[in-house]
Every structure is written in structure tokens, then in C-alpha cells.
Amino acid sequence: MKSIVLSSVVAALLAFSGCGSTQPAVDEKPATEKQAPAQEVAPVETETVAAEDSMVDSDSNSGETASSMSMSDAESELSSVYFGFDKFNISNDMREDISKAAEIGKTDAQNYNIKLEGNCDEWGSDEYNFALGLKRANAVKKALVAEGVAADRISMVSYGESNPVCNDKTKSCYAKNRRVDFKLLP
């Protein structure tokens, strides 16, 4: 009974409220106002560069010294550091790679900053893998600093499991994804 009375009251309110009879007001400018004239824009000027001026001198490579390598050459010399399952400590067999990377960082790549990219396999939650990737990158950073690379030249990023080099469901593939990669930045 209550529902019938309630629905009757709602129907009556809707029926009596109806639509408004007033039209919406439109804000228009009076026709007597004049618009400001459009501003003139200067035409685009073009310049032709001679062929001999279009090449960048190889002597002016942004402050590189004669002893340093190009960024891509130095980066290709840096090999990834691999980690065990659920580990972020550097194993003894990776120490030689760290030492080589530190030597390159102090000599050939001395004009570049180093970005350490921590990566994980697909096991574990996203949050856990991002934290583990950062711990791995931090372990490599500490090892590089211990070898004499300036800490302010090193930045870290964790990709967690989002940057795999192998997608097979095998132990050897998972091992390839548990790594820290080196990237050089200008």
C-alpha cells in the first residue's frame, strides 16, 4: 500500500511540475559594436644553407676529449649484470663485468652519465618486481662507486618485469631477464 501511495505522489509531482515556458537567454553582442581588425602576420622568411655548411664538424663533438669513445661505442662495450632468482646481490662471476664497466666509465665514457636499468623476470607482483629492479640497480651503483665512478653521474630506473629480452617460459629465459643494463646519457 505504501508503494502505491509513494508512486502516486511522485507521478503527481512530475505531472504538475511540467516544463518551464521561458526560453533560454542568449548573450549576443549588439550589432552596433565593431570587431577589431585582424592583425597582419609577417610572411615566413626562408634561408638556404650551403652544402658545405650543413655538415657538423667532427672536431666539435660537444666537448669530447680525444681519449673518449663515442657514446654508442662505449655503450656497446658495457655488458649487462645478471642476478639470481629473487636476489639483488652481485655474484662473484659478475664482479669482472662490474670492474670493466667502471673502467669504461672512468676513461672512455667519462663525459657521459650512466643510467642503470633494473629488470626482473615475471615472477612476483608488479610492486615487488619494481622494488627488486631498483635494488639490483642500486647494488650495481654501489659497486661502480666503490670502483671509482662518481656517484653523481649515475642514475637508476627500475622497469620491473616490463622490459623482458626473452619471453619463453624456460629457466634460461627467466635468467636473461634478471639483469641490470647500462645506458649512457649525454
For residue 65, pLDDT over 50 is answered with: no
Q: Are 133 and 88 in contact (CB under 8 A)?
A: no
**Secondary-structure percent of the chain, ordered helix, strand, coil, rounded to 5:** 40, 10, 50
| pLDDT confidence of residue 68 | 56
Tell me how far apart the alpha carbons of residues 6 and 93 are, in angstroms, rounded to a whole number: 80
| pLDDT confidence of residue 59 | 42
pTM of the model: 0.62
- What is the mean predicted confidence (pLDDT) over 34-40? 57
**Which of the four CATH numbers 3.30.1330.60, 3.40.630.30, 1.10.3720.10, 3.40.47.10 does domain 71-185 have?**
3.30.1330.60
Percent of the chain whose pLDDT exceeds 70: 67
Nearest to 97, CA basis, from 179, 184, 185: 179
C-alpha cell at 115: 643510467
- What is the mean predicted confidence (pLDDT) over 115-129? 94
Tell me how far apart the alpha carbons of residues 167 and 62 are, in angstroms, rounded to a whole number: 39
For residue 83, pLDDT over 50 is answered with: yes
Nearest to 160, CA basis, from 179, 123, 133, 125: 133
- What is the mean predicted confidence (pLDDT) over 151-177? 94
| pLDDT confidence of residue 156 | 95
Domain boundaries, the chain: 71-185
**Residue 47: pLDDT band with limits 50, 70, 90:** low
- End-to-end, the C-alpha distance of the chain in Å comes to 79
For residue 170, pLDDT over 90 is answered with: yes
- What is the mean predicted confidence (pLDDT) over 74-92? 92
Strands 113-119 and 154-160: parallel
For residue 114, pLDDT over 90 is answered with: yes
For residue 119, pLDDT over 80 is answered with: yes
